[in-house]
């Protein structure tokens, strides 16, 4: 792999405890990987090594690879030979671009999206996700990332009683899904889009399959309460505990005309979270994060079991695409 691609550095990178750069950044060497077919062959031939490095680093940024648009991103993503994961139960408003590629959260540009593991609020979440920068923002619009094991360690040191309580009680997420998508809300994905059906009975079936309690409201919206979910997970591949949840995102970001973020995540027994604890967690997440400026053609590969991500507000236009895999 080193014959055709170089490890490069970014000023925003940090080093993990074992000295691994976060994120790892790869770029083609001069006169190498000039075409999309070259890049696909590169991934297919070096997949095991790429995944080994991903396991150590948590995230890999592919920079200056010849990937121009959504369809080429689709081809690149498929080269990893993973099974696509439908976006069922997610909160973000998105639009499908190809069969496996869709827009990232299309909530208003002025609204930042707090840190979360992708789909941590549903039982079946993606193991890997890729983001592709088709149009970088004129200003801001970064996708900050944070290494979850580091975040867990720092939050546990700062708030040991809160973390102990989370591990003992676990969590549930409560959300009212609109009747139809609401593009003005960061969590405005309607129940039809969330469950990929126009049929109420089918939506109820999906809820039952996910262990989600549901209630139809008079205005056609659907109130959901997830099954009990862990807030802290042990990544058996690394032996490290991770801050695998969407607690800060839900508490600070799930507020709209239907929802109150402070009621959107609770301990599993219904006890409310302490606002000061959430604020401290949010601060630690920000202090632990890496935020780089998107460049057109960038692809960011994330191990979703190890890395949280967020989105900063931005000045349009900006188009970041995503693909999720089981």
Q: Where are the domains of the chain?
A: 5-108+126-133+293-325, 149-286
**pTM reported for the whole predicted model:** 0.94
Q: How buried is residue 287: exposed, middle or buried, by Cβ count under 10 Å (0-12/13-18/19+)?
A: exposed
SS3 content of the chain, % helix, strand, coil (to 5): 30, 25, 45
Alpha helices in 135-190 (DSSP H): 148-158, 160-169
Q: What is the mean pLDDT of each successive set of 10 residues along the chain, which is 326 residues long?
A: 94 96 97 96 97 98 98 98 83 81 84 92 93 95 98 98 98 97 89 94 96 97 97 97 97 95 97 98 98 98 98 94 96
Report the pLDDT value the prediction gives residue 111, as an integer from 0 to 100: 86
Chain centre to alpha carbon of residue 63: 20
Helix (H, G, I), strand (E, B) or coil at 193: helix
pLDDT of residue 96: 85
- From edge to edge, which strands make up the β-sheet containing 265-267? 213-216, 222-225, 171-177, 265-267
Q: What is the per-residue pLDDT for 92?
A: 66
Report yes or no: 311 and 106 within 8 Å, Cβ to Cβ.
Answer: no
Q: CA-CA distance, 116 to 172, in Å (whole number)?
A: 15
pLDDT of residue 178: 97
Asked if 244 contacts 232 with a C-beta cutoff of 8 angstroms, the reply is yes
Cβ–Cβ under 8 Å, residues 303 and 129 = no
pLDDT of residue 277: 98
C-alpha span between 34 and 128 (Å, rounded):
26
Q: Which CATH superfamily is domain 5-108+126-133+293-325 in?
A: Clavaminate synthase-like (3.60.130.10)
Asked if residue 67 lies in contact with residue 34, where contact means CB atoms within 8 angstroms, the answer is no
pLDDT of residue 104: 82
Residue 276, burial from CB neighbour count under 10 angstroms (0-12, 13-18, 19+): exposed
The stretches of the chain forming alpha helices (DSSP H) are 36-57, 70-78, 148-158, 160-169, 191-194, 200-210, 247-253, 275-287
What superfamily would CATH give domain 149-286? Clavaminate synthase-like (3.60.130.10)
């Amino acid at each position: 792999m080193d014959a055709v691609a170089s490890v490069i550095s970014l000023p925003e990178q940090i080093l993990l405890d074992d000295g691994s750069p976060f994120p790892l950044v790869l770029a083609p060497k001069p006169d190498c990987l000039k075409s999309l077919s070259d890049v696909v062959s590169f991934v297919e031939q070096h997949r095991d090594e790429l995944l080994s490095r991903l396991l150590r680093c948590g995230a890999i940024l592919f920079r200056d690879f010849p990937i121009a648009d959504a369809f080429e991103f689709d081809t690149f993503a498929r080269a990893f030979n993973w099974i696509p994961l439908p976006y069922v139960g997610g909160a973000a408003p998105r639009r499908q671009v190809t069969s496996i590629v869709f827009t990232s959260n299309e909530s208003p540009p002025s609204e930042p999206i707090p840190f979360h593991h992708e789909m941590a609020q549903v039982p079946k979440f993606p193991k890997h996700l890729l983001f592709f920068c088709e149009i970088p923002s004129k200003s801001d619009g970064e996708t900050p990332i944070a290494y979850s094991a580091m975040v867990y360690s720092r939050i546990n040191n700062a708030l040991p009683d809160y973390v102990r309580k989370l591990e003992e009680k676990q969590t549930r997420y409560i959300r009212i899904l609109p009747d139809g998508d609401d593009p003005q809300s960061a969590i405005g994905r309607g129940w039809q889009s969330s469950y990929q059906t126009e049929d109420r009975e089918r939506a109820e079936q999906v809820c039952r399959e996910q262990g989600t309690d549901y209630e139809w409201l008079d205005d056609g919206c659907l109130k959901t309460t997830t099954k009990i979910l862990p807030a802290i997970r042990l990544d058996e591949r690394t032996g490290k505990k991770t801050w695998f949840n969407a607690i800060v995102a839900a508490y600070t970001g799930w507020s709209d005309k239907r929802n109150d973020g402070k009621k959107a995540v609770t301990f599993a027994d219904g006890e409310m979270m302490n606002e000061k604890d959430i604020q401290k967690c949010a601060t630690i997440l920000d202090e632990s994060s890496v935020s780089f400026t998107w460049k057109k053609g960038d692809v960011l590969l994330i191990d979703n079991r190890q890395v949280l991500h967020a989105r900063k507000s931005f000045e349009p236009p900006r188009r970041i695409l995503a693909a999720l895999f089981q």
